[in-house]
Amino acid sequence: MEEATCSFNEKNLVGKGGFGRVYRGVLRSGEVVAIKKMELPTFKEAEGEREFRVEVDILSRLEHPNLVSLIGYCADGKHRFLVYEYLQHGNLQDHLNGFGKAKMEWPLRLKVALGAARGLAYLHSSSDVGIPIVHRDFKSTNILLNANFEAKVTIC
């Protein structure tokens, strides 16, 4: 993970939140990925490890064109890493606020909204994990856009 992100260099930081920081990384194969780096709190290490394992188990079973795909994961000391597909057009909020490279005309906005709704509907009716999943943090920063401006919902 260190090599892929140039030692987690700040120039590769693409997002941060309550669960950790997300960096752009390049694997040895040349594939560009998003790497979420999380640190287990010392006082809740066992609980954090259990939650991480459950999260990986659930994420690895979800598969839908409108969900960000988990590629892999890694544990190293107190750090936990989730490796996701990288979506080059960033998040929806940046585009709605005019920070994106492309202007979002109404047909594109509708396409993105429908894609995000499909991803959310899949989670709510997900038989792949045996129980419906409630997102609990569905917002424009958690809707990412691929090269074709197709929406993909981030799950965590």
Per-residue confidence (pLDDT) for residue 42, from 0 to 100? 58
Q: How confident is the model at residue 43 (pLDDT cuts 50, 70, 90)?
A: low
Specify the residue for token string 């954090």.
48
Catalytic annotation, residues? 137
> What predicted TM-score, i.e. pTM, was given to this entire model?
0.86
Count of helix runs (H) and strand runs (E) in the chain: 3, 7
| Residue 47 clears pLDDT 70, i.e. is over it | yes
Within 10 angstroms of residue 3's Cβ, the number of other Cβ atoms is 10
Residues 36 and 102: their CA atoms lie apart, in Å, by 26
DSSP 83: E
Q: Residue 84: helix, strand or coil by DSSP?
A: strand
Summarize the confidence of residues 36-42 as an average pLDDT.
77
Per-residue confidence (pLDDT) for residue 23, from 0 to 100? 93
Model confidence over 80-109: pLDDT tens digits? 899 999 999 999 999 998 876 677 899 999
Model confidence over 52-73: pLDDT tens digits? 888 898 889 899 999 999 999 9
On whether 16 is known to bind a ligand per the annotation, the reply is: no
Per-residue confidence (pLDDT) for residue 76, from 0 to 100? 84
Tell me the two tokens of residue 90. Answer: 């960033």
- What is 3-50 written as a DSSP string? TTTTTT-GGGEEEEETTEEEEEEE-TTS-EEEEEEEE--GGGHHHHHH
Q: Which domains does the chain have, with CATH numbers?
A: 10-85 (3.30.200.20), 92-153 (no CATH)
DSSP 150: -
Rg (CA), the chain: 16
